[in-house]
Structure 1
Amino acid sequence: MNYSYPIDMDWSKDEITTVIHYFEMIEKAYEKGVSTSEIKEAYRAFKVVVPSIGEEKRLGREFEDASGYSPYQVMKMLKNATTSTIKMKP
């Protein structure tokens, strides 16, 4: 990993940890696969820190630009998931 996570310096340490955990789950969905329950829980916690859809989209684009991993595509696959695990195709 040669990129940094998009974070807001106004967030508390716990909030930064929550956002980083969510982005780690996005990475995991691409690299190894992640359980649907794990990604749902990470997203719920993320939305407590980032309730704004506009900010969520901005952070998602920044993360995708830096990493190549799309939070939008992972969440779209999660919404339509018929299995207990999500594994994105590279």
Structure 2
Amino acid sequence: MANYGYPIDEEWTHEEITTVIRFLNLVEEANESGTDTEAFLNGYKKFKTVVKSIGEEKRIGREFEAVSGYSIYRTLQQAKAATAKRFKA
């Protein structure tokens, strides 16, 4: 588990914060040990219900990569390209 803060918006509801953190956890899992491809892509869809704009997604991605070293964009590209049930970024 991470020892850093997640980039969250104080205006989000508790449920929205939970959705974003769950997705960021999937990004970590994909990079550290691998994760289920379908679960990751479903997590991304839910993430996009909270983070609707590309600009906001990029901002969160930059902030998350700065603290974790993991790229949401690169991890997502690998998930989309994955042909197996599980993938590791």
Name the TM-score, length of structure 1 as normaliser.
0.94
Residue of structure 1 equivalent to 2:85 = 84
Distance 1:16 1:68 in 2: 21
Using the TM superposition, give the Cα deviation of residue 2 of structure 1 relative to its aligned residue in structure 2, in angstroms. Answer: 2.3
Q: List 4+ stretches of structure 1 deviating above 2 A.
A: none
Q: How many pairs align?
A: 88
Q: Could you tell me how far apart the structure 2 residues matched to 1:2 and 1:22 are?
A: 16
* CA displacement 1:32-67 (0-9 Å, x = unmatched): 111111101110110000110110011011000010
Whichever residue aligns with residue 44 of structure 2, its letter is Y
TM-score, with structure 2 as normaliser: 0.95
Number of the residue aligned with 1:75:
76
Report matched runs for 1:1-90 at 5 Å.
Answer: 1-88=2-89
Gaps of 5+ in 2: none
Please give the root-mean-square deviation of Cα atoms over the aligned residues, in Å.
0.8
- C-alpha distance in structure 2 between counterparts of 1:84 and 1:60, whole Å: 25
Tell me, in whole angstroms, the C-alpha distance in 2 between the residues paired with 1:3 and 1:86: 24
| Unaligned 5+ runs, structure 1 | none
Instruction: State the SS of the aligned residue for 1:2.
Output: coil
Separation (CA, whole Å) in 1 of partners of 2:52 and 2:14:
17
% identical equivalent positions? 50
